[in-house]
Amino acid sequence: MNYTFDWQVVLTGEYREWIIDGVLLTLKISAVSLFLALVLGTVIAVMRLSRIRPFVWFSAGFTEFFRNTPLLVQIFFWYFGSDGLLPRPVLEWLYARDFEFAAGVIALTVYTAAFIAEEIRSGINAIPKTQLESSRACGLSFLQSMRYVILPQAFRIIVPPLISQALNLIKNSSLCMTIGVAELTYMTRQVESYTFRGFEAFTVATLVYLCISLAVSFTVTQYNRYFLRTVRY
């Protein structure tokens, strides 16, 4: 055990900048994917609860397929299989910008949206059906009832599981390193390759992931408590 720790190699100079760049890209890909997953998950959940059978079948197939296949396989699918799925103009547009980032966002979005859709559906089912019936009796359409009456209450119920999904997405973003996205794990691996300081590099990365997760959890929890006090008074 003659290993000598050298934290300065990781925390100073060029390698520190690499890690900072990785953190920023991790936050970016996580934020974009989470926003899109919330939107897509909400649409899938509403489709699942509609009375239009093709929508119900599509939403059920979507959630079951993406929830029951590994995220890493999905990332490879969108990265290597996009040529046969996306239109050529879309592919050219993505390649002209950052195709790896786009493939990672798509994979994280559809994977997380499948879980969020089930959380939203559970939240909607927890609301008494009389509220939907009452809103329809007042002249609102199904979509208007969902938008103005049901979904606001459902999102209040599912805040804790949504926090878990957000944290899972942030951690799952590390898998995007496999397709060349230079997020935190990718950059940490680069630092380890150049310095042979694997313990120091991955310790820093672990602490960064921990801090991000705790910050997200604390922020959403505090907002939830503040919102409850505001509504109560």
Mean of pLDDT over the chain = 87
Comparing 231 with 95, the larger pLDDT belongs to 95
Average pLDDT of 212-223?
A: 85
Kindly tell me if the per-residue pLDDT of 60 is higher than 80: yes
Q: What is the pLDDT of residues 113-141, one digit of tens each?
A: 999 999 999 888 888 888 877 887 888 88
Q: Give me the residue spans of the domains in the chain.
A: 27-184
Quick one: pLDDT band at residue 228, thresholds 50, 70, 90?
Answer: low
Query: What's the 3-state SS for the chain?
Result: CCCCCCCHHHHCHHHHHHHHHHHHHHHHHHHHHHHHHHHHHHHHHHHHHCCCHHHHHHHHHHHHHHHCCCHHHHHHHHHHCHHHCCCHHHHHHHHCCCHHHHHHHHHHHHHHHHHHHHHHHHHHHCCCHHHHHHHHHCCCCHHHHHHHHHHHHHHHHCHHHHHHHHHHHHHHHHHHHHHCCCCHHHHHHHHHHHHCCHHHHHHHHHHHHHHHHHHHHHHHHHHHHHHHHHHHC
User: What is the per-residue pLDDT for 233?
Assistant: 44
User: What is the per-residue pLDDT for 83?
Assistant: 76
- The owner of tokens 């705790």 is 214
Kindly tell me if the per-residue pLDDT of 215 is higher than 80: yes
Q: Which one, of 156, 123, 120, 164, lies nearest residue 230 by Cα?
A: 156
pTM of the model: 0.88
Quick one: pLDDT band at residue 110, thresholds 50, 70, 90?
Answer: very high
Q: Which fold has domain 27-184?
A: MetI-like fold (1.10.3720)
Quick one: pLDDT band at residue 203, thresholds 50, 70, 90?
Answer: very high
Quick one: pLDDT band at residue 1, thresholds 50, 70, 90?
Answer: low
CA distances from 84 to 76, 79, 87, 180 (A): 13, 11, 8, 20
CA distance 101 to 67: 22
Average pLDDT of 171-187?
A: 93
- The owner of tokens 């060349």 is 180
CA contacts within 13 A on the Cβ side of 15 = 23
Vertex 139 angle, CA 133 and 142, to 5°: 60
CA distances from 222 to 8, 153, 203, 219 (A): 35, 18, 28, 5
Comparing 132 with 63, the larger pLDDT belongs to 63
